[in-house]
C-alpha cells in the first residue's frame, strides 16, 4: 500500500525516509534548521524545523517519524512567530560583528535572520566576550559565535571517531571546546577541519593566510609560485554559478585569475600526484616482496595524524611517500630557484588545497634558509574558499576570464593524477600504473566488489595474474573500525588500504565551498572523472615531464635521492602527560623510569610490573636514585608491557628483565653496594 503525507495540502508519498524533514525536502520546501546534517545523528536542539501536525500539534520535523495520512503545515503564523523568537534569542547571545566575520554570506544564522525579516531584537544582549583559540595553523575557534548546535561535536565523534570537541560547563556558561578546556593545539585534533564545515556560524573557521599572501604578491623582490589541487577545480564553479563547466575549463580560469593577481608560475598538483603514484607503486611492489603489508596510503595528512596519535603500531604500514603537496614543496625548494634564476630566499611557495589538514601538514616539512619568509617548504596554503575571496577582492570577473594553460614543468599531468581528488582515486591510479595493458579505463570499477557501504569499499583486483584485496575508506570512523579488526584478528585481509579523512575524499574537504546536500560531492566526483576521461594519458608512468624530472635530478624511483626528495618518516604523536609516582629527586645519580598504563599494556600485566618497580625502588640501597612515572602510551601498543628506562623502551617487559635492566642502569651511575 502506498504511504503518503499531506504537506501544505499536497499529497507526498514516502518509503524509507526516517523523518518528516527528509520528506518535506522532496516538496522543494527548504525548512529552516541549524542543527540538522544528513551525515550525523539527529540532535533536535535548534527547534527551527517545527511543523504543525493535525491532532499532534507542533513538533520538530527532524526527529518525528512519518506516519501514513499525516496532515502537515510548515508555514503557519504561529510557526513563523516561534522561529523568529528562537532566532532572536540566539542573536541576543551572539557576537554580531557580521561585517568582519569570515563566515559572512555563508552563515546560516545570518540567512535565517534575513529570511524571517528580523529587524529588531527584543531581548537584551548578554554576550560575555570570550577569547578566541588561535593556537593552530589550521583552525580558529570563536565561542562568541557558537550557538551550541552540537554539529561539530557529533561529527568529530560519530564520523571521525576522534572526539576532540565536547560541551564544557553548564547553563549560560556552556561552550564547545576541546576536552578539559585545552586549546586546540594541545588537544588530540587531527585537523581534518570537518567541524568548520558543519558549523552553521563563524564559531569554527579555517585560519586564513590571505593578508600575508597579498603582502608577498606585492613585494617586487619575491617570485610567488602556486600549485592547484585537483579537487579545487571540481568545486570553484559552485561559488560563481558555473556548475556546468568541466574541470579543464575551470582549471584554466583559475590559472588566468592567479596570473592576474600576480603569481609568477601556476602549476598543477596533479603533476606531483603522478610522482606520488610512481613512488608509491615502487614501494608497494617492494612491500609485497618483503611481506610488509598492508600498505596504507599517506596522501591525507588528517589520516596520518590519526595513525600517529591513536594507532602508532600501524605507522610501519604507512607509505613513506610524501603527499603530492609534500613533494611539491620539496621539489620546488630544490630545483625551482635554478629554473627561475632567482636566489632561493626570494622564492615563495604556495599551494591551493581543499583541505585544512594541509595547512597543518605544511608546517611539518622544515628547511633552513637565511632571510626566507618562513622555515617551511610550503610558505602558505590557500583553501578554495580563500581563493574565492581573493578573486572577489581583486575585482576579477571569474565567469568571463579566459582560460590559460598551467606552466611547465609542473603543469603536465595524466588522468591518474587528477583522480587523487576523490575517494578511490589513489587506488585507481596505482592499479593503472602496475597493470601492463596499454589502455586503461576505470580499472577500479571493473574489479570484483567484495563489500560496499557508504564509507567503505572492499574489492579484489587481478594485477598481472595475481589477486590483490584492497580497501577504500573515507571517514576516520570507518578507518578505525578496520584497524580495530586487524588488532582483534591479528591479521589483515587486505594488501592495500586507501584512507581519506573527509567524506568523498578531498572533494569533501573543509576548505571547499560550504555544502549541506551530500549529492554535491557526487557532482564534484563527476567533474574529476570527466576530466580524467578526456586526458591524453591515463597512467602516471606515461607522464613524460615527470620522467624528465627523474632523468635530470633523481635517477630511478625508490633510490636514495628519491627518498631524500619524495619520502618522509612518521613518529608516535600521542599527547599524554606523565604522572609522577616518585619524583623531585636530584638529576645527578638517578635513573628515570616510565611505565605505560595504556589499556593494551594493562591487559598484559603492566600493573604488576609497576608495583614491582615501586617495591624495588623502596629498597634502602636504591632509595633516592629512581624516578618513576606513569604514562598512558609509549607507542608500542601491540608489544606490551612497555617500560622506558632512561628513554630506552623495553618491549614485552617481564619482572625479571626490568629488574636486571634497572640494576645495569644503576651500575652505570656507580651506585655502591649493587649486586
Q: Is the pLDDT of residue 130 over 90?
A: no
Contact of 565 with 333, CB cutoff 8 Å: no
Strand blocks (E) in 347-397:
347-353, 380-383
With H, G, I as helix, E, B as strand and everything else as coil, classify residue 177.
strand
Q: Which of 231, 459, 201 is nearest to 324 (CA)?
A: 231
User: pLDDT value at position 276?
Assistant: 95
What is the number of other CB atoms lying within 10 angstroms of the CB of residue 269? 29
Partners of 166 in beta bridges = 177
Sequence-distant (6+) residues with CB within 8 A of 620 are none
Residue 206 phi/psi, 5° resolution? -65, 145
Of residues 162 and 453, more confidence is placed in 162
Sequence-distant (6+) residues with CB within 8 A of 540 are 273, 274, 275, 277, 278, 281, 414, 416, 417, 429, 432, 433, 546
Task: Summarize pLDDT for 596-642 with one digit per residue, the tens.
Answer: 888 788 889 999 998 888 888 887 677 778 888 888 777 777 788 99
Contact of 639 with 490, CB cutoff 8 Å: no
Place of cell 557508504: 454
Strand blocks (E) in 259-330:
265-268, 295-296
CATH code for the domain defined by 88-206: 3.30.70.20
Residue 203: exposure state from Cβ atoms within 10 A (0-12, 13-18, ≥19):
buried
What is the number of other CB atoms lying within 10 angstroms of the CB of residue 207? 20
Distance CA 461, CA 376 (A): 39
Instruction: Return the half-sphere exposure (C-beta side, CA atoms, 13 A cut-off) of residue 240.
Output: 24
Q: Is the dihedral of CA 501, 504, 510, 512 positive or negative?
A: positive
Q: Give the CATH fold of the 579-668 domain.
A: Glutaredoxin (3.40.30)
Q: Is the pLDDT of residue 139 over 60?
A: yes
Task: Summarize pLDDT for 382-433 with one digit per residue, the tens.
Answer: 999 999 999 999 999 999 999 999 999 899 999 999 999 999 999 999 988 8
With H, G, I as helix, E, B as strand and everything else as coil, classify residue 388.
helix
Distance CA 161, CA 155 (A): 8
User: pLDDT value at position 368?
Assistant: 60
User: pLDDT value at position 675?
Assistant: 46
User: pLDDT value at position 61?
Assistant: 92
Residue ranges in 413-475 assigned as alpha helix (H): 415-418, 425-434
What is the number of other CB atoms lying within 10 angstroms of the CB of residue 169? 10
Is CATH 1.10.8.50 correct for 211-566?
Answer: no
Instruction: Return the half-sphere exposure (C-beta side, CA atoms, 13 A cut-off) of residue 202.
Output: 21
Task: Summarize pLDDT for 302-360 with one digit per residue, the tens.
Answer: 999 999 988 988 999 999 999 999 999 999 999 999 999 999 889 999 999 999 999 99
Distance CA 477, CA 70 (A): 37
User: pLDDT value at position 392?
Assistant: 94
Residue 270: exposure state from Cβ atoms within 10 A (0-12, 13-18, ≥19):
buried
**What's the average model confidence in pLDDT over 544-571?**
92
Tell me the pLDDT band of 269, cut-offs 50, 70 and 90.
very high
Contact of 267 with 228, CB cutoff 8 Å: yes
Place of cell 595504556: 598
**What's the average model confidence in pLDDT over 227-242?**
93
Q: Is the pLDDT of residue 574 over 70?
A: no
User: In terms of CATH architecture, what is 3-75?
Assistant: Roll (3.10)
Residue ranges in 203-268 assigned as alpha helix (H): 210-217, 230-233, 236-239, 247-261
Tell me the pLDDT band of 295, cut-offs 50, 70 and 90.
very high
What is the number of other CB atoms lying within 10 angstroms of the CB of residue 651? 12
User: pLDDT value at position 584?
Assistant: 54
User: pLDDT value at position 313?
Assistant: 87
Grid cell of 178 as nine digits = 576541546
User: pLDDT value at position 577?
Assistant: 63
Distance CA 633, CA 308 (A): 12
User: pLDDT value at position 53?
Assistant: 93
Laid out side by side, the sheet with 347-353 consists of 265-268, 223-228, 347-353, 380-383
Q: Is the pLDDT of residue 673 over 50?
A: no
Grid cell of 594 as nine digits = 616510565
What is the number of other CB atoms lying within 10 angstroms of the CB of residue 418? 32
User: pLDDT value at position 446?
Assistant: 55
Residue extents of the structural domains in the chain: 3-75, 88-206, 211-566, 579-668
Contact of 16 with 81, CB cutoff 8 Å: no
Residue 259 phi/psi, 5° resolution? -65, -40
Q: Which of 548, 209, 571 is nearest to 378 (CA)?
A: 209
User: pLDDT value at position 494?
Assistant: 93
Amino acid at each position: 500500500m502506498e504511504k503518503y503525507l499531506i504537506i501544505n495540502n499536497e499529497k507526498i508519498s514516502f518509503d524509507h525516509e526516517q523523518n518528516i524533514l527528509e520528506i518535506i525536502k522532496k516538496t522543494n520546501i527548504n525548512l529552516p534548521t541549524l542543527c540538522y546534517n544528513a551525515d550525523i545523528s539527529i540532535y533536535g536542539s535548534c527547534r527551527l524545523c517545527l511543523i504543525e501536525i493535525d491532532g499532534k500539534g507542533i513538533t520538530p520535523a527532524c526527529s518525528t517519524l512519518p506516519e501514513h495520512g499525516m496532515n502537515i503545515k510548515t508555514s503557519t503564523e504561529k510557526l513563523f512567530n516561534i522561529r523568529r523568537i528562537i532566532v532572536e534569542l540566539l542573536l541576543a547571545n551572539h557576537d554580531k560583528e557580521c561585517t568582519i566575520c569570515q563566515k559572512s554570506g555563508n552563515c546560516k544564522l545570518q540567512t535565517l535572520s534575513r529570511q524571517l525579516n528580523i529587524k529588531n531584537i527584543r531581548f537584551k544582549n548578554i554576550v560575555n566576550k570570550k577569547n578566541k583559540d588561535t593556537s593552530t595553523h589550521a583552525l580558529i575557534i570563536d565561542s562568541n559565535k557558537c550557538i551550541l548546535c552540537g554539529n561539530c561535536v557529533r561529527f568529530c565523534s560519530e564520523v571521525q571517531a576522534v572526539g576532540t570537541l565536547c560541551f564544557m560547563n553548564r547553563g549560560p556558561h556552556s561552550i564547545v571546546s576541546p576536552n578539559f578546556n585545552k586549546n586546540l593545539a594541545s588537544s588530540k585534533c587531527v585537523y581534518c577541519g570537518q567541524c568548520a564545515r558543519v558549523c552553521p556560524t563563524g564559531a569554527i573557521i579555517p585560519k586564513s593566510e590571505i593578508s600575508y599572501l597579498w603582502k608577498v604578491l606585492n613585494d617586487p623582490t619575491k617570485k610567488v609560485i602556486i600549485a592547484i589541487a585537483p579537487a579545487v577545480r571540481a568545486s570553484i564553479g559552485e561559488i560563481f554559478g558555473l556548475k556546468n563547466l568541466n574541470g579543464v575549463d575551470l582549471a584554466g580560469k583559475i590559472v588566468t585569475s592567479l596570473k592576474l593577481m600576480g603569481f609568477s608560475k601556476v602549476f598543477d598538483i596533479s603533476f606531483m600526484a603522478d610522482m606520488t603514484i610512481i613512488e608509491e607503486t615502487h614501494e608497494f611492489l617492494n612491500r609485497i616482496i618483503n611481506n610488509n603489508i598492508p600498505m596504507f596510503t599517506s596522501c591525507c595528512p588528517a589520516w596520518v595524524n590519526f595513525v600517529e596519535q591513536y594507532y602508532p603500531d600501524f605507522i610501519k604500514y604507512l607509505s613513506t611517500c610524501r603527499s603530492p603537496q609534500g613533494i611539491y614543496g620539496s621539489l620546488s625548494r630544490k630545483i625551482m630557484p635554478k629554473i627561475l634564476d632567482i636566489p632561493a630566499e626570494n622564492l615563495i611557495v604556495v599551494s591551493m588545497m581543499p583541505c585544512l589538514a594541509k595547512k597543518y601538514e605544511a608546517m611539518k616539512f622544515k628547511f633552513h634558509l637565511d632571510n626566507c619568509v618562513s622555515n617551511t617548504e610550503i610558505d602558505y596554503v590557500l583553501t578554495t574558499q580563500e581563493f574565492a575571496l581573493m578573486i572577489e577582492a581583486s575585482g576579477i570577473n571569474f565567469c568571463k576570464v579566459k582560460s590559460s594553460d598551467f606552466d611547465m614543468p609542473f603543469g603536465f599531468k595524466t588522468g591518474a593524477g587528477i583522480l587523487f581528488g576523490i575517494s578511490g582515486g589513489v587506488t585507481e591510479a596505482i592499479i593503472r600504473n602496475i597493470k601492463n595493458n596499454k589502455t586503461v579505463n576505470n580499472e577500479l570499477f571493473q574489479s570484483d566488489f567484495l563489500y560496499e557501504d557508504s564509507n567503505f569499499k572492499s574489492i579484489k583486483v587481478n594485477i598481472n595474474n595475481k589477486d590483490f584485496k584492497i580497501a577504500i575508506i573515507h571517514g576516520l570512523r570507518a578507518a578505525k573500525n578496520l584497524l580495530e579488526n586487524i588488532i582483534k584478528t591479528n591479521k589483515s585481509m587486505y594488501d592495500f588500504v586507501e584512507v581519506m579523512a573527509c567524506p568523498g575524499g578531498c572533494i569533501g574537504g573543509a576548505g571547499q565551498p560550504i555544502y549541506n546536500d551530500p549529492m554535491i560531492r557526487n557532482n564534484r566526483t563527476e567533474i574529476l572523472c570527466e576530466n580524467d576521461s578526456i586526458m591524453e594519458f591515463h597512467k602516471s608512468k606515461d607522464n613524460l615531464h615527470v620522467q624528465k624530472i627523474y632523468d635530470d635530478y633523481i635517477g630511478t624511483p625508490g633510490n636514495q635521492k628519491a627518498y631524500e626528495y619524495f619520502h618522509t618518516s612518521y613518529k608516535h604523536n600521542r599527547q599524554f602527560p606523565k604522572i609522577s609516582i616518585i619524583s623531585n629527586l636530584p638529576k645527578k645519580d638517578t635513573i628515570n623510569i616510565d611505565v605505560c598504563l595504556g589499556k593494551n599494556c594493562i591487559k598484559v600485566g603492566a600493573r604488576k610490573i609497576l608495583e614491582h618497580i615501586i617495591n624495588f625502588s623502596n629498597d634502602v640501597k636504591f632509595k633516592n636514585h629512581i624516578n618513576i612515572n606513569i604514562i598512558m602510551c609509549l607507542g608500542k601498543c601491540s608489544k606490551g608491557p612497555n617500560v622506558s628506562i632512561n628513554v630506552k623502551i623495553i618491549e614485552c617487559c617481564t619482572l625479571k628483565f626490568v629488574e636486571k635492566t634497572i640494576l645495569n642502569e644503576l651500575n652505570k651511575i656507580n651506585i655502591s653496594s649493587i649486586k
